[in-house]
Amino acid sequence: MELAIVILAAGKGTRMRSDLPKVAHPLAGKPMLGHVIDTARALSPGSICVVFGHGGDRVQREVPATDVIWAEQAEQLGTGHAVAQAMPHISEEVVLILYGDVPLIRAETLRDFVSRVQPDTLALMTLEMADPGAYGRIVRNAEGAVQAIVEYKDADATQKAIREINTGILACPRAFLDQALPKLSSNNAQGEYYLTDVIAMAVADGLTIDAVQPSFPWEVDGVNDRVQLARLERVYQQVQAEALMRDGVTVMDPARLDVRGNVRCGQDVVLDINTVLVGEVDIAARVTIGPNCLIRNARIGEGSHIEANSVVDGAVVGEDCHVGPFARLRPGTELAAGARVGNFVETKKTLIGPGSKVNHLTYLGDATLGRDVNVGAGTITCNYDGVNKFETHIGDNAFIGSNSSLVAPVSVGSGATVGAGSVVTKDVPEKELAVARSKQRNLSGWQRPSSTSQEASQKASQDAPAAGQPGDTSRQGEQ
């Protein structure tokens, strides 16, 4: 039977105390509603319809999805009324109702759940709770068959004592909903059209209610405030960490790993504490990631090591590379096999050839380096004139001395050497040495001022205020 999924997301979410609509608040870097839509997609339904209302089209802007039908519920008159707004937009035989603020429901659980729906059977997700709070209560008859849901505010003392609650997730034949929804009334404690009232109607029509429990209680946890959101974030992260560990990843502390995207890891990867993995991340076998690293939209090749406090963002790291500690690889960086990028090195749109080393205190932007290049400490590619970006090319086996500025566009040929402290503005031919710095002068016989001569001169200037001492070249920094 073809499936339509309706996601309710029209509520206000007052307790978030936020300008952002509740369902747009991120969990693991993605709006809660985005998680629910992705889970819905995983079931390959005929259509997905999101009922929005409070906050208007802000929800659509924050959670853009073109394969979704957006149905507006202008006034929030209750969950039954909300589902009724979706009905004109869908035509499938089975309707599954989910919630934009119940983000961790799993596709596996829903597949089994939906499969229980028959022309004469509704599936209702319920949960036994030690402390059932203000949830709707599941009323069963003496034979244990579900008869009705009673909302907490409408419940009597006996009903309030029931510990089986309504999670809200419901799947039923569309034909049944079509005739039941128009019959709902708002004659109840909250003056709302309760979706939950369709259960008693179904029973009166001779239908059966199949009450199903989720595999994990957290799948049906809703978010009303930021405390609950933070709790679910931790649940989500624990699940991600456990999945990685089962795939052969060592996670030094599952409580200090954050996955905000889609992460694929090979075997024997080691993730040290405070690793944050964002977006699409591919980590090959035997890679180690040191403490406090951010890896975003990146690929890291087999056996590479990313040392502590490094950022790998929009970059591709080849096999057996060494990055960090304290390195920052920005978008467009590619490291070939065996390359090394050390501390306080920033790279952007830069290809670093096999075995090349950029070990300390360097900025490389818009650059290509061949194989076995050595870039000395403090090297800068001057790639930007304030408006335009220019490229730097460095050939195989070139050696760039420390503290050099390579003023792009410029190229350094294969096997060429740049003397330390050079400002290179012209291309350097293959194998040649370029030295571009002022020549050193040594002044013989020059004397450093001693404290006794200084006191004498100070005394002289107090006695007779005069202009500064001439010819004293040692006084750098005092002018």
Residues carrying an active site annotation: 360
Count the Cβ atoms, other than its own, within 10 Å of residue 179: 11
Q: Which stretch binds ligand UD1 (CB under 6 A): 162-170, 275-283, 436-444, 467-475?
A: 162-170
CB of 143 vs ligand UD1, minimal distance in Å: 23
Separation of first and last alpha carbons in the chain: 86
Q: Which of 338, 287, 345, 288 is nearest to 311 (CA)?
A: 345
Among 4, 5, 6, 11, binds ligand UD1 (CB under 6 A): 11
Binding-residue total with Ca ion (CB under 5 A)? 1
> How many whole angstroms separate alpha carbon 344 and alpha carbon 226?
37
What would the DSSP string read from start to end of 109-176? HHHHHHHT-BTTEEEEEEEE-SS-TTSPEEEE-TTS-EEEEE-GGG--HHHHT--EEEEEEEEEEHHH
Residue placing its CB nearer to ligand UD1 in the complex, 6 or 406: 6
What would the DSSP string read from start to end of 267-332? TT-EE-TTEEEEEEEEE-TT-EE-TT-EEEEEEE-TT-EE-TT-EEES-EE-TT-EE-SSEEE-TT
> How many whole angstroms separate alpha carbon 314 and alpha carbon 422?
31
Interacting residues of 125 by C-beta distance below 8 A, sequence separation 6+: 113, 167, 168, 169, 170, 211, 212, 213, 214, 220
- How many Å separate Cα 45 from the centre of its chain? 27
CB of 12 vs ligand UD1, minimal distance in Å: 8
CB of 264 vs Ca ion, minimal distance in Å: 35
Residue placing its CB nearer to Ca ion in the complex, 166 or 347: 166
CB of 99 vs Ca ion, minimal distance in Å: 8
CB of 260 vs ligand UD1, minimal distance in Å: 23
Residue 305 interface partner, choices ligand UD1, Ca ion, none, CB cut-off 5-8 Å depending on type: none
Residue 147 interface partner, choices ligand UD1, Ca ion, none, CB cut-off 5-8 Å depending on type: none
Q: Which stretch binds ligand UD1 (CB under 6 A): 194-202, 348-356, 374-382, 401-409?
A: 194-202
99 touches ligand UD1 by CB under 6 A: yes
Please state, in angstroms and as integers, the Cα–Cα distance from residue 451 to each residue in 52, 369, 466, following that order: 80, 51, 20
CB of 60 vs ligand UD1, minimal distance in Å: 14
Q: Which residue is nearest to Ca ion (CB)?
A: 222
Which phi and psi (to 5°) does residue 373 adopt?
A: -80, 145
> How many whole angstroms separate alpha carbon 316 and alpha carbon 297?
9
113 touches ligand UD1 by CB under 6 A: no
Residue placing its CB nearer to ligand UD1 in the complex, 87 or 312: 87
By CB atoms closer than 10 A (0-12, 13-18, 19+), residue 375 is buried
CB of 237 vs ligand UD1, minimal distance in Å: 23
Residue placing its CB nearer to ligand UD1 in the complex, 154 or 258: 154
Question: What is the sign, positive or negative, of the torsion defined by CA atoms of 255, 256, 262, 267?
Answer: negative
159 touches ligand UD1 by CB under 6 A: no
> How many whole angstroms separate alpha carbon 250 and alpha carbon 132?
38
Among 39, 126, 166, 274, binds ligand UD1 (CB under 6 A): 166
Q: Which stretch binds ligand UD1 (CB under 6 A): 93-101, 252-260, 265-273, 318-326?
A: 93-101
Residue placing its CB nearer to ligand UD1 in the complex, 223 or 377: 223
76 touches ligand UD1 by CB under 6 A: yes
> How many whole angstroms separate alpha carbon 128 and alpha carbon 134?
13
Q: Which two tokens stand for residue 25?
A: 């608040």
CB of 61 vs ligand UD1, minimal distance in Å: 18
Binding flags for ligand UD1, 219-258, as an x/- string (CB under 6 A): ---x------------------------------------
Residue 421 interface partner, choices Ca ion, ligand UD1, none, CB cut-off 5-8 Å depending on type: none
Whether 333 contacts 345, CB under 8 Å = no
Q: Regarding beta strands 270-271 and 250-251, do their DSSP bridges make them parallel or antiparallel, or are they unpaired?
A: parallel
Please state, in angstroms and as integers, the Cα–Cα distance from residue 28 to each residue in 16, 245, 409, following that order: 17, 18, 42
Residue placing its CB nearer to ligand UD1 in the complex, 217 or 248: 217
Binding-residue total with ligand UD1 (CB under 6 A)? 27
> How many whole angstroms separate alpha carbon 116 and alpha carbon 126?
14
Q: Which stretch binds Ca ion (CB under 5 A): 50-58, 151-159, 214-222, 362-370?
A: 214-222
135 touches ligand UD1 by CB under 6 A: yes
Binding flags for Ca ion, 221-240, as an x/- string (CB under 5 A): -x------------------
By CB atoms closer than 10 A (0-12, 13-18, 19+), residue 359 is middle
Among 47, 60, 126, 196, binds ligand UD1 (CB under 6 A): 196
Residue 100 interface partner, choices Ca ion, ligand UD1, none, CB cut-off 5-8 Å depending on type: ligand UD1
Residues within the interface to ligand UD1 (CB under 6 A): 8-11, 51, 73, 76-79, 81-82, 99-101, 135-136, 149, 151, 165-168, 194-196, 222
Residues within the interface to Ca ion (CB under 5 A): 222
